Structure 1
Amino acid sequence: MTDIPRLLEILADAHSRSIYADVCGIDRTRAKTLLMEVIRASFDGEAYAAVAEVQGQVEGFILGVEEPLYLIGDKSLVTDLFWVATSRVNPRDPRQLMAGMVEWGQTRPHAVEIRCGTTPVIQEPEKAARMLKRLGFKPYGQFSRLEIKR
């Protein structure tokens, strides 16, 4: 829980470089609440939270959750809510963060898959996809986006 201010900094920095930086801001209260809920659930094994540190400072993190398949299934899937790192993180850390979430996900008794997407919101999707492939993930459809002009 003491890492939450730093996690918020990392999210804000990532958002400032995202495709949504000029579209919306971050609701810090909502973000803090979400971080607290997922981290609290991770203490009981009901969610996954891990950080990557450089010289004692958090420079990356992952939050994983389990949810019903398509939100209506009697089986579940595991996915990441956030998988974010700063440029200061050790290059091996993002893979280790995801590997930890995958390991946790494989222990969930009702989970039938681990699903993670790679989008250009804040990451290089091709690089992330290669990392996921090395962890055993396979391509699964594609995302499409229609921007609403206002």
Structure 2
Amino acid sequence: MNNDVTSLVDESINLELNVSDIYLLFYKFFPNDAEFWWKLALEEKNHAALIRGGKEYFEPVNKFPHNLLHHSLQNLKDTNSKLLSLIKNFENTPPSREEAFNIALEIENSACELHYQNFIDEEVNSTTDKIFKKLNKDDKDHAMRIRSYMEKHGITGQSENG
């Protein structure tokens, strides 16, 4: 695997794990929403595992679905840095419930996370892409599910209050 692809894969794995860590903090902070956050956190860990598995098994034979990865290493690094900063801040000062949901929406609508969702949504022809999509199963549509949960539970979205 060339160094550029390795770096993209590694940063993508870190991204999914960092998002999972944020959702695990929300799980801890908001017991009434714990089941929701737990499920999202596990799905993010699953995304990381899929990418890691692809790196281990598909990349050595040049079959890794590169369209699964965001194209900008710098964007991935910047996003991971922001996520790590949020995690550190939240450990000292937890967000409000409303802030947590809006942050989750912002994360899921970021270019890096949208890239994963777009891969899952697009029509694919290659066997490897089909395998990745099948393994991902229903671990998708996070932004839509967050918005739906917010509406169902009367949580105000950022666009609604500003």
Q: TM-score range with shorter-chain normalisation?
A: 0.3 to 0.5
Tell which has more relative contact order, 1 or 2 (C-alpha 8 A, sep 6+).
2
The structure where helix makes up a greater share of residues is: 2
State TM-score, norm by structure 1.
0.34
